[in-house]
Amino acid sequence: MAENNKKICCQNLWKIFGPAPESVFDLIENGASKQELMEQTGHVIAIRNVSFEVQENEVFVVMGLSGSGKSTLVRCINRLMEPTRGSIYIDDTDIAKMNNQELRELRRHRLSMVFQSFGLLPHRSVFDNVTFGLEVRGEKKEARYKKSQEAIELVGLKGWEKSRINELSGGMQQRVGFARALAVGSEFLLMDEPFSALDPLIRRQMQEEFINLRQQLKRTVIFITHDLLEALTLGDRVAIMRDGEIVQLGTPEEIVCRPADDYVKEFIKDVPRGKIIPAHTIMEKPLAVITSDQTITQAIEEMDKKEAELTFVIDNSGVLRGTLTREQASVASRIKSTKAGETASQEFPSTAPDTPLEKCLQLVAEGDAPVAVLDKEHRLLGVINRPALIVALQSGDGANDGK
């Protein structure tokens, strides 16, 4: 995710349903609740003073229960619904000020939407559904064919091009809708509960497909869902909505480890923490570390000093070259004086900093040695010890706080 490169920005966004929305702001400013406003005026607050930014190539998930305002929010962003107040910027352009022609061009070329109901044309084949947006845009047949075929292959529908929509399962129909959005090459995808109508097994498969596709294709995505686990699994950041307001916005681990209030706490209490919290959140500084050009004697001295049974051996760039136990060092010292790097064991458990803790369990269970956390260049960032992992996987008041 690119830092400080915002692509979508909502500022003080309001959406009020009713005959005269502007007339009720005085009541709102005087403290009228949503219920009071509805009873007194017949107006309903769907979005209440919402502000957030979405970074380039970020998957920004908006999660909330029915009636929270999440679907209204995404429809305001592409102006399927007109906001009552506030600004919506894509790059530096306020789309609330676009005329109808500019808005059509935005939707045709830069911004696509994937709906829960798929929005497919039943009388058309898979291929013809995928190419529909390109037809509307007026692209030539050869270009349409190439882009549509690439999108179909990306979502795993190769061989189904001539099939009718009613011949496909729900999961396959959703793939068609996704392929149609990808074919037009939009920079921005607005996805309104795209997987919620699917059976649980197919839904998990689609979530995995989405994660895999996202690694291949860079897109800025706003993803709407009522499923917290889905939000935490797919999102770079998650905004939790209640009664038209964002009650917490943060990374998945921030929400799981530091819920903002009792409402969020109630949501996350049954979340499997091991699926969400990454390894770097609980990694610690290793007790003993030496460089590969130090001697076995120096390695033993370091372990004695730190009261450690194992030392990590790194080179001058911080790359992990191996581990050395006290027993290995003792045997090596009796044979001959040698460098630690020549004796270090090349077999040690390791993981990446963003690996979910759930996947670290087996590594910890397989031996007593701490799990090394390595960056892409295999530099040693820290270690995960069994006690810290057990605490982090617990839920409730005794859980690790992520600090």
pLDDT tens digits, 19-62? 999 999 999 999 888 889 999 999 999 999 999 999 999 999 99
pLDDT tens digits, 285-330? 999 999 999 999 899 999 999 999 899 999 999 999 999 998 888 8
Least Cα distance to 355 among 333, 322, 381 occurs for 381
Written as one letter, the residue type at 185 is: G
Q: pLDDT at residue 95 above 70?
A: yes
Model confidence, pTM: 0.79
CA–CA gap between residue 289 and residue 302 (Å, rounded): 8
What CATH number has the domain spanning 280-393? Answer: 3.10.580.10
Report, as an integer, the average pLDDT of 364-380.
87
pLDDT tens digits, 99-134? 999 998 888 888 888 776 557 888 889 998 898 888
Mean pLDDT of the chain: 87
Count CA atoms within 13 Å of residue 120 on its CB side.
31
Please give the pLDDT value at position 336: 63
Q: pLDDT at residue 2 above 70?
A: no
Please report which confidence band the pLDDT of residue 343 belongs to, taking 50, 70 and 90 as the band edges. Answer: confident
Please give the pLDDT value at position 263: 92
Please give the pLDDT value at position 46: 95
Contact 119, 193 (CB under 8 A): no
Torsion angle of the four alpha carbons 139, 143, 148, 150, in this order, in degrees rounded to the nearest 10: -150
Written as one letter, the residue type at 390 is: I
Contact 386, 369 (CB under 8 A): no
What are the distances in angstroms from CA 62 to CA 73, 211, 225, 251, 301? 9, 17, 6, 12, 54
